[in-house]
Amino acid sequence: MVGTVERRRVLQGLALGSAGAGWGLAGVLSTQEAKESSASKKIKIVAVSCSSRVGKTTAQGLKYVLEAAQAVAPDRIEIVLIELGGLRIPVEPVLGLPLLAGDRDDFPQVAEQIAPPEVKALIVGSPVHYGNMSTFCKAFLDRLGEFRTKGFVLCGRLGGALAVGSARNGGQEFVLESIHRALLCHGMMIVGDGQPTAHFGATLWNPGTDDISGDKFGIQTAQNLGRHIATLALRCG
């Protein structure tokens, strides 16, 4: 009798063990499928040039950032550069005021390119104006507040910054910090330029020629920012 009971216990244990193994295997397969699905998912990284001068040094710097970002995973990363030059980004809507007669508002079209959930990172670039971001950049960030009031749409996404000054130490880091503070108000996760420079973001120098190609250090910070934010975006995506 005792032997029969023991045999039953052993058989029950084997049955439970087989069921557990099956469950464990299903869990592994499910995890593997999730990883494969995540690995094939495409993401977007959007950069916004807050300069009135289209195609100039702020846009040039952001192209370095975006190209380095896409190079991390060309088959998975889509890059978008938005230039605000030539657009109207009025601040009246932030203040609850009507637009001035004859004025137009181009911000909704810009917002449409930032809002989609596949946009995992937003990089804001600005020229340095007397140690501060440009008025264009301030207007853009003020209008970006609409994302906060509509349910913190940007919360959990990555944010980075780029600044171009007319001197090597012309206030670029002040501008980066100002942009960072605005993005933090959305619950975004701020990303710096990564190794080996690993500071606050991309800092470039326009020596007055509207050509930053000779600024090797600045370009390195831009490329490091792109690679860093892309690597983290892929992990988050």
Based on the domain organization, do 48 and 36 belong to the same domain?
A: no
* Stated pTM of the model: 0.83
Q: d(Cα 107, Cα 84) in Å, to the nearest integer?
A: 9
**Tokens at residue 15, please?**
């049955």
Based on the domain organization, do 86 and 192 belong to the same domain?
A: yes
Task: Using the predicted structure, report yes or no on whether residue 205 has a pLDDT greater than 70.
Answer: yes
State whether the Cα torsion 60-61-63-64 is positive or negative. Answer: positive
* CATH, residue 213: 3.40.50.360
Based on the domain organization, do 24 and 134 belong to the same domain?
A: no
Q: d(Cα 146, Cα 186) in Å, to the nearest integer?
A: 10
> What pLDDT does 99 receive?
95
> What pLDDT does 10 receive?
38
Based on the domain organization, do 152 and 121 belong to the same domain?
A: yes
> What pLDDT does 25 receive?
39
Q: What is the DSSP string of 2-44?
A: HHHHHHHHHHHHHHHHHHHHHHHHHHHHHHHHHHHHHHH--EE
Based on the domain organization, do 52 and 130 belong to the same domain?
A: yes
Which tens digits make up the pLDDT trace of 26-83? 444 444 544 455 567 899 999 999 999 999 999 999 999 999 999 999 999 999 999 9
Based on the domain organization, do 216 and 111 belong to the same domain?
A: yes
Based on the domain organization, do 163 and 100 belong to the same domain?
A: yes
Based on the domain organization, do 24 and 47 belong to the same domain?
A: no
Based on the domain organization, do 202 and 115 belong to the same domain?
A: yes
Based on the domain organization, do 50 and 32 belong to the same domain?
A: no
DSSP classification of residue 227: H
Task: Using the predicted structure, report yes or no on whether residue 141 has a pLDDT greater than 70.
Answer: yes
- Count of domains forming the chain: 2
Range of the domain at 232: 41-236
Based on the domain organization, do 148 and 82 belong to the same domain?
A: yes
Q: d(Cα 95, Cα 237) in Å, to the nearest integer?
A: 35
Based on the domain organization, do 20 and 48 belong to the same domain?
A: no
